[in-house]
Amino acid sequence: MAQAPSFAKANLSHEERTANEPRAHGLHPVTIDRVSQVNSQIRTYRLITEESGINFLAGQWLDVHVPGIQKAGGFTITSPPRHASPIAARVERPLSARPFLELAVQRSPENPPAAWLWQPIDDVVGKQLHVRVGGTFVWPPPGINKDAINRVVFIAGGVGINPLISIVDHILGQAEPEYLDVRFLYATKAPRPNAEPSEILSLPRLIELFWTPDPAADENRNRLDVFFTSTIDKSCIASDDTLINSLNEGSAVQASARRIDRSILIEAIGTRSERERSVFYVCGPPDMTDSIVDFVCSQDNVTSKHVLCEKWW
């Protein structure tokens, strides 16, 4: 489980902060094929690999070397491993048909690699980067017998969604998904009042992953709850905001204007018997992560090594 960074650590580069984390050997060339603007603070990047693909575990991050900047940036892979699998047939094909990785990068002018990626979109599409896989906040959970787990609880805050969307997509998005009960809590800010779901990082993918044609048949499995804590400019979001109302009209998600509190956590953690066969993934702002991890670990029948968190930024 990751430890809280000291003030000094918070001012180190990505490579310095993660110096003790395992990394793959060698760098892979990738090409920026597509950049999408999620909202004023977030962009996603589709990185095309060579046909041999790149092996990684869901939840891992990349060292990202951009042109002209010596130190690598660190950005979590938001796509599942299957999208980066090697192509069997050695034939010429367009970039869009090759294996790929996806990143979501927050606007950060003080972070040189992020600032490079946030140049005008036309200036970065088609550019080549070099990347290396690293990290241990992954699925399957390290050091845990996966056969003893039948339930996974994800708790995300803001851009902490990034490793968790890769993991949940890996679990639920396969042709033959792993049979697990998945509970997902996602707390985030809305970009503005009455925003569209597409303006919330990874929300359209989550809705698709959790959608079911017959919610009554699966009422005890695979639940998604989204909590809008405020707008980006820190103004309140109304409980009858059109974004919340539109999400609650469907069967895939329950949305509300509130924070994740203890009552929500207790319900999500589950019964005593459910906790014994659960694993918990937490990723969000450091203070949020610390408080949630401490609370979950303090509950009866929760094994502390089953509570995993990522907090290296």
pLDDT digits (tens, 9 = 90+) for 270-294: 999 999 999 999 999 999 999 999 9
Angle at 285 between CA 302 and CA 238, to 5 degrees: 100
What is the predicted pLDDT for the residue at 252?
78
CA dist 183 and 237 (Å) reads: 24
What is the predicted pLDDT for the residue at 95?
63
Give the model confidence (pLDDT) of 9-18 as tens digits.
557 889 889 9
What is the predicted pLDDT for the residue at 70?
94
Which residues of the chain fall short of a pLDDT of 50? 1-8, 89-90
What is the predicted pLDDT for the residue at 233?
92
Measuring CA to CA, which residue among 58, 54, 66 is closest to residue 14? Answer: 66
Which residues fall within 8 angstroms of residue 42, CB to CB, at 6 or more apart? Answer: 104, 105, 106, 107, 159, 201
What is the predicted pLDDT for the residue at 212?
79
Q: Dihedral sign, CA of 113, 118, 123, 129? A: positive
Tokens of 215: 């919610």
Give the model confidence (pLDDT) of 141-192 as tens digits.
999 999 999 999 999 999 999 999 999 999 999 888 888 999 999 999 999 9
Omega into 140 within 30° of 0, i.e. cis? yes
What is the predicted pLDDT for the residue at 191?
95
Enter the pTM of the model.
0.93
What does pLDDT average to over the chain? 91
What is the predicted pLDDT for the residue at 6?
40
Which residues fall within 8 angstroms of residue 12, CB to CB, at 6 or more apart? Answer: none
